[in-house]
Chain A
Amino acid sequence: MNAIILTAIWGVVMMLGGAFIKSKATPKYLAIFGLAVILVANCLEMNTGMPIFTVDVKNMLHFNSFNLTFINVAFGCTLLFFLLSGRDIEKVGENVSEYFALIFFILCGVAIISTFNSLLMLFIGIEIVSIPLYILTGSDKRNLKSNEAALKYFLMGAFSTGIMLLGIAFLYGGSATGSFYIDNIISGNAPMPPMIAIGLVLLLISMSFKVSAAPFHFWTPDVYDGAPTVFTSFMATIVKAAAFFAFVRLFENAFGSMHEQWQTLIVILIAATLLIGNLTAVFQQSVKRMLAYSSIAQAGFMLFSLFALNNLAKEGLVLYAAAYSLASIGIFAILIKMKDYTIDGFNGLGKQHPLLAFTATVFLFSLTGIPLTAGFQSKFFMLMAAVQTGHHIWLVIFAVLCAAISAYYYFRIIQAMFFKEAAADAVILADDITPAFKILLVITAALIIVLGLFPHFLTNWLYF
Chain B
Amino acid sequence: MNQNIWITFPELLIWFPLIAGLVAFIIRKENAVKNWSILASLITLGISIVSLVYADNTKHFYLNNVSYFWLRYLGSNFTLGLDGMGHVLTALTAVAFPVIFIATNKTNYKNANVFYGLMLLTQSGLMGVFTAMDLLVFYFFWELAVIPAYFLCSRWGGERRIQATFKFFVYTFTGSLLMLVGIIYLYMHTMPTGSSEHSFSMNAVYTAMLSPAERNWIFWLFFIAFAIKMPVFPFHTWQPDTYEQAPTSTTMVLSGIMVKMGVFAVIRWILPIFPGPVSEFDNIVIGLSVIGMIYASLIAIKQDDLKRFVAYSSIAHIGLMCAAIFTKSEIGLQGVMIQMFSHGINIIGMWIVVDLIEKQTGTRKISELGGIAHKAPVLTIFLVVIALANIALPLTNAFVGEFMMFSGLFKFNFWYAAVAGLSIILAAVYTLNMVQKVFYGEANSVTEKIQEISFNQKLVLAVLVVLIFLFGIYPQPLFDLTKDTVAAILTRIK
Q: Which residues of A contact B (CB under 8 A)?
A: 365, 370-372, 380, 383-384, 387-388, 390, 393, 396-397, 400-401, 403-404, 407-408, 411, 415, 418-420, 454-456
Contact = CB atoms under 8 A, between A and B. Distances in A.
B188 A419 contact: no
B26 to A, nearest CB: 12
A59 B169 CA distance: 52
Given A407-B170, A415-B154, A384 B184 contact: yes
A418 B154 contact: yes
Contacts of B73: 456
Given A371-B143, A408-B170, A419-B154, A456 B71 contact: yes
B151 A371 contact: no
A404 B154 contact: no
Contacts of B184: 380, 383-384, 387, 396
A415 B170 contact: no
11 contacts: A371-B143, A372-B140, A380-B184, A387-B181, A387-B188, A397-B178, A400-B174, A400-B178, A401-B174, A404-B170, A419-B162
B154 A371 contact: no
Interface string B333-368: 000000000000000000000000000000000000
B139 A371 contact: yes
Given A388-B188, A404-B170, A418-B154, A370 B147 contact: yes
A416 B229 CA distance: 26
Given A370-B143, A387-B188, A400-B178, A455 B173 contact: no
Contact of B177 (A384, A403, A454, A456): A403
Nearest to A403: B177
A370 B139 CA distance: 11
B144 interface: yes
A404 B177 contact: yes
A243 B71 CA distance: 29
Contacts of A415: 154, 162, 166
A400 B179 CA distance: 10
B169 A411 contact: yes
Contacts of A400: 174, 177-178, 180-181
B268 interface: no
A164 to B, nearest CB: 35
Contacts of B139: 371
Interface residues of B, number: 26
B187 interface: yes
Given A371-B144, A415-B162, A455 B177 contact: no
Interface of B: 71, 73, 139-140, 143-144, 147, 151, 154-155, 161-162, 166, 169-170, 173-174, 177-178, 180-181, 184-185, 187-188, 221
Contacts of A404: 170, 173-174, 177
A409 B78 CA distance: 32
Contacts of A372: 140, 144
A401 B177 contact: yes
Nearest to B147: A370
B132 to A, nearest CB: 12
A365 B144 CA distance: 11
Contacts of A390: 188
A387 B170 contact: no
A383 B155 contact: no
Given A383-B180, A419-B161, A456-B73, A393 B185 contact: yes
Contacts of A407: 169-170, 173
Nearest to A400: B177
A189 B181 CA distance: 30
A396 B188 contact: no
A456 B72 CA distance: 9
Contacts of B180: 380, 383, 400
Given A370-B147, A408-B170, A420-B162, 10 more contacts: A387-B181, A387-B184, A387-B188, A388-B188, A396-B181, A400-B174, A404-B173, A407-B173, A415-B166, A419-B154
Of B147, B169, B177, most buried by chain A (CB within 10 Å of CB) is: B177
Contacts of A365: 147
Contacts of B169: 407, 411
B205 to A, nearest CB: 14
Nearest to B161: A419
A371 B142 CA distance: 9
Contacts of B181: 383, 387, 393, 396-397, 400
A123 to B, nearest CB: 37
Contacts of A370: 143, 147
B148 to A, nearest CB: 12
A456 B169 CA distance: 30
Contacts of A396: 181, 184
Nearest to B73: A456
Contacts of A388: 188
A347 to B, nearest CB: 12
Nearest to B221: A397
A371 B162 CA distance: 22
A388 B181 CA distance: 11
B138 to A, nearest CB: 11
A413 to B, nearest CB: 13
A244 B162 CA distance: 37
A456 B75 CA distance: 12
